[in-house]
């Protein structure tokens, strides 16, 4: 059998839309899907890993974490570049992982970087925001979880960190701002053939999971046969 690279699958959406839950379930499902035969992914996917941005474990990530928890202030351009740098620092490891045939389920990526920065009142400029992430590995699929602002807020107060629930509200978790973020996402997905929008209002975790898994199954073969692209180039 020809060895194929892993898929790069990104989950995006506003805060509280269920990305982290779904990302975990997808990784579990891909790791337990039979390699061959009925219900398999055609023998292409060998293994899947869960990645998350911001990656709060690096030196840059720790700065971002302080900013998000309102423990420090940062100029808008500067924090935008730190979010992008936090992705770039992981690129060698990401490419190596995909090359080994391991798929990566990514909980947020450059699209968050753009949507959240461009949504700020003192606009940084959509094009300016794009440049910092230009050339990153291009995802095979972007799964966008769309949630109404009514349901959003109820979900924010609970957060899981390292297996325990903590109750904090981070920077950006305001309905008006998240509506602007969703509008920016709308601009980003226009004309893109690798985006899939999934409405999550009033749907169970399991129904959404099935939906996402089916999209992946429909795309896995095509994606792993293509060389990984470069984002926005």
Q: Where along the sequence are the contacts to ligand NYM (CB under 6 A)?
A: 15, 53-54, 68, 83, 108, 112-113, 116, 172
Total residues contacting Mg ion by CB under 5 A comes to: 1
Q: Which does 68 bind (CB under 5 to 8 A by kind): Mg ion, ligand NYM, none?
A: ligand NYM
* Of residues 12 and 41, the one with the C-beta less far from ligand NYM: 12
Give 15 or 184: the residue with its C-beta nearer to Mg ion: 15
Under the binding rule (CB under 5 A), the answer on residue 15 touching Mg ion is yes
In sequence order, the 6+-apart residues with CB closer than 8 A to the CB of 48 are 6, 26, 27, 30, 31, 102, 103, 104, 105
CB-based contact 44:99 (threshold 8 Å): no
With H, G, I as helix, E, B as strand and everything else as coil, classify residue 144.
strand
The DSSP result for 20-75, as a single string, is HHHHHHHHHHHHHS-SSSTTS-TT---EEEEEESS-TTSHHHHHHHHHHTTSS---
- 92: helix, coil or strand? helix
CB of 214 to Mg ion, least distance (A): 26
Contact between 94 and 191 under an 8 Å Cβ cutoff? The reply is: no
Segment contacting Mg ion by CB under 5 A, of 7-15, 31-39, 98-106, 185-193: 7-15
Between 8 and 45, whose beta carbon lies closer to ligand NYM? 8
Q: Residue 50's beta-bridge partner residues?
A: 105
Select the binding partner of residue 54 from ligand NYM, Mg ion, none (C-beta < 5 to 8 A, by kind): ligand NYM
Binding partner of residue 137 among Mg ion, ligand NYM, none, CB cut-off 5 to 8 Å per kind: none
CB 213 within 8 A of CB 26: yes
Q: Which is nearer to ligand NYM, 119 or 228 (CB)?
A: 119
Binding site for Mg ion (CB under 5 A): 15
């Amino acid at each position: 059998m020809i060895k194929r690279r892993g898929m790069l699958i990104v989950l995006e959406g506003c805060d509280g839309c269920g990305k982290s839950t779904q990302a975990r379930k997808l990784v579990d499902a891909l790791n337990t899907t039979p390699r061959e035969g009925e219900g398999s992914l055609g023998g292409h996917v060998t293994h899947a890993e869960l990645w998350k941005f911001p990656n709060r474990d690096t030196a840059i990530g720790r700065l971002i974490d302080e900013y998000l928890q309102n423990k420090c202030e940062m100029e808008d351009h500067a924090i935008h570049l730190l979010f992008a740098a936090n992705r770039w620092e992981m690129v060698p490891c990401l490419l190596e992982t995909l090359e080994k045939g391991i798929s990566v389920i990514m909980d947020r990526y450059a699209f968050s970087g753009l949507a959240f920065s461009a949504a700020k009142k003192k606009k940084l400029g959509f094009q300016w925001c794009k440049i910092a992430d230009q050339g990153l590995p291009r995802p095979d699929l972007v799964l966008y979880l769309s949630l109404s602002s009514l349901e959003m807020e109820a979900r924010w107060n609970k957060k899981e960190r390292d297996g325990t629930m903590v109750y904090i509200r981070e920077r950006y978790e305001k309905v008006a701002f998240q509506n602007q973020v969703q509008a920016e996402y709308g601009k980003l997905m226009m004309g893109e053939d690798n985006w899939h929008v999934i409405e999550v209002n009033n749907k169970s975790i399991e129904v959404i999971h099935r939906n996402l898994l089916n999209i992946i199954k429909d795309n896995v073969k095509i994606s792993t046969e293509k060389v990984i692209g470069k984002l926005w180039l």
